[in-house]
Structure 1
Amino acid sequence: MAKKLFLIIGAPGSGKTTDASLIAQKHSDTIVHYSTGDMLREEVSSGSELGATIESFISKGALVPLEIIVNTIISAINNAPVDNVLIDGYPRSVEQMTALDEIIEKEDNINLTSVIEVRVSEQVAKDRILGRAEEAKEGEKRSDDSIEVFYDRMKIYTDPLAEIQAFYTDKNLLHIINGERTLEVIVDEMDAFVQSKI
């Protein structure tokens, strides 16, 4: 039976990792959740050849090449203990999206079932990341630094977003969830959606 893959994307502060991990905890017999970073670390600790290659990039502080990230994802999905896999934080770029798509087209045993976007406004994302208290200390250097980091992260997310949304919308795979509500409501809605697809 083909594994069902759900990609979960969202801005920093959207809560996507928490949402996905709670759903996987609730259905540990049928659903597993990975974030891209976890998968790379797991591959390294497995002692595989792929892991050794990944380690050589990470130890130099270099970015892990796209092809390796995609191979790691495919390897993680194929080795997943259950048939339904949630991956958050991927794709982060058009290149990542295209690379994964090309491989999944060829893989009979992986079916990209849905791409779930946890959508929040920039203001909500910023409030969650920086915390309300930071607003009062606007004048301090540290606060500006963290705000700059937030905007950098936000830009990395939003720059390719329209193209990613269009690509998956064309494939009838994009499902948008309003991430501005309470955690419980969001998790319940995402959970119900995932369950309806598996």
Structure 2
Amino acid sequence: MAKDSRIPSVLLFGIPCAGKGTVGKAIAKELPRHFFYLSSGDMVRETSKLQSRIADELNDYLRRGELVPDSIMVPMYKEGVICRKIYGNISSDHTLLVDGMCRTAEQAEELADLLDFKEVLHLDNVPKAEVLERCKKRGEGRIDDTPEAMSRRIKEYWDVTWPALDYFHRNHISIHPLNALLPKDMVVKNAVDYMKARYRITSEW
């Protein structure tokens, strides 16, 4: 994709169960003309329910709480974005809220031809004990929310995903911290208020 035709995007970044999905959905719901939310995790879980070889592979990674390899994840996400662009779900007025991608610097580099990252919303300050408690309460029946899988995902976050922030620093992409340890309603309000101010949105209609 030509550089000037890339999709403007904001990355939602944070440890598992920091609230990236909650924040992303809230921003898109509050400001639907300006933002479109797309979760790679939702894509993975939808695909994992199919009867296919790729679904079997995805389920193996989910059960173990391991990151899905870039060789699977990046093409799947790109296809999902392009399809939604073609069918008009993502309009020319939208900024894409990216949840679940750029878990490695390599992913960020591979997506750079499709997505024009404007900034990173970093949901921070959530300790491991709180992460485990939130995932226990999430109640979605996800196979990657077992205590064993969650411990592996947290370790993967610090070992693999956290260093990916360096990619955005190196490329002079703004990183805005959000205190994700605050009550959920406060985190959401802070995120929505920030996006309104940052993108100078005075009225949705």
Fold conserved between structures, TM > 0.5: yes
2:12 pairs, out of 1, 8, 20, with 8
Aligned residue number for residue 123 of structure 1 = 129
Aligned residue number for residue 141 of structure 2 = none
Aligned residue number for residue 188 of structure 1 = 189
Measured at CA, do residues 4 and 194 of structure 1 come closer, stay the same or move farther in structure 2, by a change above 3 Å?
A: farther
Deviation digits for residues 40-76 of structure 1 (CA, Å, limit 9, x no counterpart): 567899xxxxxx9x95311454666524422333333
- Partner secondary structure for residue 125 of structure 1: helix
Higher Rg: 1
Matches of 1:27 and 1:42, distance apart in 2: 25
- Partner secondary structure for residue 28 of structure 1: coil
Instruction: Give how far 1:99 is off.
Output: 3.5
1:57 pairs, out of 54, 58, 62, with 54
Measured at CA, do residues 161 and 56 of structure 1 come closer, stay the same or move farther in structure 2, by a change above 3 Å?
A: closer
Matches of 2:27 and 2:110, distance apart in 1: 28
- Partner secondary structure for residue 160 of structure 1: helix
Measured at CA, do residues 36 and 194 of structure 1 come closer, stay the same or move farther in structure 2, by a change above 3 Å?
A: same
- Partner secondary structure for residue 38 of structure 2: strand
What letter corresponds to residue 169 of structure 2 in structure 1?
T
Instruction: Give how far 1:113 is off.
Output: 1.1
Instruction: Give how far 1:146 is off.
Output: 4.7
2:29 pairs, out of 25, 28, 48, with 25
Measured at CA, do residues 127 and 65 of structure 1 come closer, stay the same or move farther in structure 2, by a change above 3 Å?
A: closer
Matches of 1:148 and 1:87, distance apart in 2: 26
Aligned residue number for residue 102 of structure 2 = 91
Percent identity for Structure 1 against Structure 2: 20
Matches of 1:152 and 1:43, distance apart in 2: 22
Are the counterparts in 2 of residues 77 and 85 from structure 1 also a CA contact under 8 Å? no
Which of structure 1's runs of 4+ aligned residues deviate more than 6 A? 41-45
Aligned residue number for residue 142 of structure 2 = none
Matches of 2:149 and 2:159, distance apart in 1: 15
Instruction: Give how far 1:191 is off.
Output: 1.9
Aligned residue number for residue 203 of structure 2 = none
TM-score between the two structures when normalised by the length of structure 1 = 0.70
Instruction: Give how far 1:159 is off.
Output: 1.3
Structure 2: gaps (5+ residues): 62-67, 138-144, 201-205
- Partner secondary structure for residue 159 of structure 1: helix
TM-score between the two structures when normalised by the length of structure 2 = 0.68
Instruction: Give how far 1:169 is off.
Output: 2.3
Matched, 1:71 2:75: yes
Q: How many residues align?
A: 172
Greater CA drift, 149-158 or 57-66: 57-66
Matches of 1:182 and 1:122, distance apart in 2: 17
* Cα-Cα RMSD: 3.2
Are the counterparts in 2 of residues 3 and 77 from structure 1 also a CA contact under 8 Å? no
